[in-house]
Amino acid sequence: MIQPQQWVLSAMIAAALLVSACGGGGGVRTSSEEKTNRAAEVNTQLGGAYLQRGQYEQSLEKLQKAISYDPNYAAAHSTIAILYEQIGEVSKAETHHRRAVRLDPKDANAQNNLGAFLCKIGKYRESEEYFVNAANNAFYHTPEQALTNAGKCLLRADENDKAEIYFRQALTAKPNFPDALFSLAQLNLHKGESLRARAFLQRFESIAPASPDSLLLGYRIERAMGADSDAESYAQKLRAQYPNTPQASQLQTP
């Protein structure tokens, strides 16, 4: 998902630190350079660990120290960018996200993270480039997520047809990817294609647990199809399992 929920944040930090674990650039380095690079790596790892625990002040101290040791260390820039996002320093976050991509254009995680950031701040069309770069990287393990992210961002730009292409490409990469299936169910309902929306939601339901969003979507699809008893079944589940959610409040009073 594009939204920085806790597990997504942890995944982003882990991806940023992957470069650190793999070591620095090639070439012969002096003993002094090796020590400096190692200091940057260690401080980046410590900064990432503090960031995952929500200890932002300590994280910032370590990440700034890492960059002072090696201003060209992409992993440090990628991680500090995520930190700045968390504390609302948008301009600094963008600067470091872009710096990480310039320093290591082959890092698909950095490309995807920059795309997600740009989408979050409303630069929808620019974000597409970075999601596509990530998805096209042969060494990227989750191209379906980058493609789905591209589709979601284009939906915000009212480019529904193009968004649908990306969702379908995500399913080509991984046929049972829940995020793309759910997005296609939403998009088809919006287009008035209720039967297709139902089919995509049923595929989603076969592989993912029910959530407030999926139950509300099921309710809306069945109402659009005139299947009132099925719609009420979704409504009852939503009220019973998630009674105090915004989604439950959107149900019509029986």
Determine, yes or no, domain membership for 14.
Answer: yes
Q: What is the pLDDT of residue 2?
A: 40
Where residue 252 falls among pLDDT bands split at 50, 70, 90?
A: confident
- Residue 187, pLDDT above cutoff 50: yes
Does position 25 have pLDDT exceeding 50, yes or no? no
User: Hey, what are 189's tokens?
Assistant: 């309902």
14 in the same domain as 99: yes
Tokens of 207: 């592989």
Mean pLDDT for the chain?
90
Domain interval for residue 247: 175-254
Is residue 231 within 8 Å of 222, Cβ to Cβ?
yes
For residue 32, give Cα distances in angstroms to 37, 39, 76: 9, 11, 19
Count of the separate structural domains present in the chain:
2
Residue 234 counted as domain residue: yes
C-beta separation of 134 from 107 below 8 A = no
The rounded percent of the chain whose pLDDT value lies above 90 is: 84
Residue 111: name the closest of 85, 143, 134, 77 by CA. Answer: 134
Regarding pTM above 0.95, the answer is no
CA atoms within 13 A on the CB side of 135: 24
**In the listed set 84, 104, 124, which residue is the last one of a domain according to the structure?**
104
CATH classification of the domain holding 241: 1.25.40.10
Model confidence over 90-138: pLDDT tens digits? Answer: 999 999 999 999 999 999 999 999 999 999 999 999 999 999 999 999 9
